[in-house]
Structure 1
Amino acid sequence: MPDASPSQAGQAAENQALEFLQGQGLRLLTRNWRCKGGELDLVMLDADTVVFVEVRYRLHESFGGALGSIDGRKQKRLVLAASLFLQKEPRWAAQPCRFDVVALQGSHHAGRPLQWLKNAFEC
């Protein structure tokens, strides 16, 4: 993806993550769900568990790379957004929930292995 803008590269990473997760049996509930507190990249269902998936793409490993970019501040924003999602979508509020991270790194990441961290953090 040499000429891709950062947003195009991020969208391609999100598409790759979605395809991968669907291949693992997860079902998409919504994507790019926005609220005042932030955004949820992918909200998926894994059996009866609502999964909030943060997709992180970084070209370089600088500053901790894709996985290192999920710091405490980012986790708090994801938890807030997930809470708001569950308030707006009460049919999912009684289901178990978890936070996963899918990380992709490097240029031309399509076809490269991605890292899927199930239950990457707890709230």
Structure 2
Amino acid sequence: MSTSCKGRHAETLAADYVAEAGWMILERNFRSPGGEIDLVVSKASILAFVEVKAVDAYGLESLASSVNARKRRRIVETSKLYLARHREYRGSILRYDVIAVRSGRVEAWLEGAFAE
């Protein structure tokens, strides 16, 4: 399976998982000129921007650090564009999460993995 196909499959599994947990999927693969956010989800007053990682057997120990500083900046900047386009979420509590998918299932959901 190609890397992009593996990533899309992981994103689908993660989207299904968060939907089953009661979150509303607002966007999948929201793109801006500077980056992409895999999932934008909401529940109550929380708006979460989610990075999905397909990890191998040894990837969970460093899940938070798997999103490097450059990628975090791109996600944050892209989230600002999302908020500019969707003013109805401006009062929401913002969160940046990372979901790890391994062997065809969600292995971990790190809520608040990084901050703006």
Shift of 1:58: 3.2
**Partner Cα distance (2:63, 2:11) in 1:** 13
- Aligned residues between the structures: 115
Within the candidate set 99, 103, 110, 2:104 is matched to 110
- Kept in 1: contact 2:46–2:94 (CA 8 A): yes
**Partner Cα distance (2:45, 2:22) in 1:** 12
What SS does the aligned partner of 1:33 have? strand
Which structure: larger Rg? 1
Q: What corresponds to 1:43 in structure 2?
A: 40
Q: What corresponds to 1:12 in structure 2?
A: 9
Residue type matched to 2:104 in 1?
Answer: A
**Partner Cα distance (1:21, 1:115) in 2:** 11
Identity of aligned residues (%): 32
**Partner Cα distance (2:77, 2:90) in 1:** 14
Matched, 1:120 2:113: yes
- Kept in 2: contact 1:101–1:117 (CA 8 A): yes
Change (3 A) 1:16 1:10: same
- Kept in 1: contact 2:63–2:98 (CA 8 A): no
Provide TM-score, normalisation by structure 2: 0.88
Matches within 5 A, 1:1-123: 4-59=1-56, 61=58, 67-105=64-102, 109-111=103-105, 113-123=106-116
Shift of 1:18: 0.8
Between 92-101 and 65-74, the greater mean CA deviation after superposition: 65-74
Residue type matched to 1:76 in 2?
Answer: R
Provide TM-score, normalisation by structure 1: 0.84
- Kept in 2: contact 1:66–1:104 (CA 8 A): no
**Partner Cα distance (2:78, 2:40) in 1:** 11
Instruction: Structure 1: give runs of 5+ residues left out of the alignment.
Output: none
- Kept in 2: contact 1:53–1:101 (CA 8 A): yes
